[in-house]
Amino acid sequence: MLPSMRIGPYQLKNNLVVAPMAGVTDRPFRMLCRALGAGLAVSEMVASNSLLWGSEKTRRRANHEGEPEPKSVQIVGADPAMLAEAARYNVANGAQIIDINMGCPAKKVCNVMAGSALLRDEPLVARLLESVVKAVDVPVTLKIRTGWDSTSRNGMRIAQLAQACGIQALSVHGRTRADAFMGSAEYDTIREIKAAVSIPVIANGDIDSPQKAKHVLDYTGADGLMVGRAAQGRPWIFREIAHFLATGERLAEPDPIEVRDILLSHLENLYSFYGAALGVRVARKHIGWYSKGCVGGAAFRRTINTLETPAEQRALIETFFARQAELELAA
């Protein structure tokens, strides 16, 4: 039986969460991952700067039409009043869970003292969390790293602070800000955090296979798992992990025809969401990820990146994956 998880009033169908990733976890990707086994998908981060709320990009990021519940929106900022206002704005626009980003290592975020830079200022963390929790009547969750760098791993103190401030679930990426995405994630700190708090703890970092997922769950005692980069081009990783955790058996990888069908369905949603011209451009990185490891993938990607219309993308994808199926049959 696959464990489920509760965040406030919401009972998730399982304990697998799609990590918020800027430029990746738009509505089409979130809905696809949910359909393929994820219990929750968190939106790309929305800036707390209210001047940005009117932008087309921000409106798209806050668009949750047709998404399964609960709808979780991640906000980022370093000013308590502005972050609270951003939380209220997103709840008014359909967010059912507000997630606060204190995990992003990007320089442009950290340079304005947001994201993981906040981990260096625990009193400010407390003010931010209290401000947002008081501002909205939906569950507020938090995403952090284990600390700023290896000499200041204060994830445990931040976790205890978060619980005291009313945060209802905590996601922890097993790297410091200084690590960015280098090296390997460590799970000792996540294990210590889980032992120190009673709110749900979601482990994140390098969870790229069903076996790794089980190892991280068993080792940390975490309540849930968050998968990010490993879902790029492999959104079915959620059903694979769910199956393995429930049965102890590996699910077969999708064959090239199923991969093609999943990709084409994903692209139709991108074209519809962004419009044809922008949809084609956004689709390129996803097509690149889906074709990773395929025979002739590099040449295929070079060509796909020159195409300008949905029809051209569809046609080349049909041809490419038909060839992959032939190669698989011949093997």
Q: What is the pLDDT of residue 175?
A: 85
Q: Which of 178, 181, 201 is nearest to 189 (CA)?
A: 201
d(CA 239, CA 255): 15
Contact of 154 with 125, CB cutoff 8 Å = no
Structure pTM? 0.93
Q: Backbone dihedral region of 4: left (phi > 0), alpha (psi from -120 to 50 degrees) or beta?
A: beta
Q: Which of 55, 41, 96, 52 is nearest to 76 (CA)?
A: 52
Structure tokens at 71: 């709808």
Structure tokens at 158: 């931040």
Write the pLDDT tens digit of every residue in 15-51. Answer: 999 999 988 999 999 999 999 999 999 998 877 676 5
DSSP per-residue letters across 314-327: HHHHHHHHHHHHHH
Residue 8: count of CB within 10 angstroms of its CB: 15
Cis before 70? omega within 30: yes
Residue ranges in the chain modelled with pLDDT below 70: 1-2, 48, 50-54, 103-117
Nearby residues of 132 by Cβ (< 8 Å), 6 or more positions away: 75, 80, 83, 84, 87, 98, 100, 140
SS3 category, 136: coil
Q: What is the pLDDT of residue 110?
A: 43
Q: What is the pLDDT of residue 119?
A: 76
- In the chain, the domains with their CATH numbers are 6-247 (3.20.20.70), 256-330 (1.10.1200)
Write the pLDDT tens digit of every residue in 113-136. Answer: 555 667 778 899 999 999 999 999
297 CB burial (10 A radius; 0-12, 13-18, 19+): middle
d(CA 101, CA 86): 13
Residue 274: count of CB within 10 angstroms of its CB: 18
Q: What is the pLDDT of residue 114?
A: 58
Residue 318: count of CB within 10 angstroms of its CB: 12
Q: What is the pLDDT of residue 93?
A: 87
130 CB burial (10 A radius; 0-12, 13-18, 19+): middle
d(CA 180, CA 7): 28
Helices (H), 173-305: 188-196, 210-220, 237-247, 256-274, 276-290, 297-304
Q: What is the pLDDT of residue 109?
A: 54
Report the catalytic residues: 104
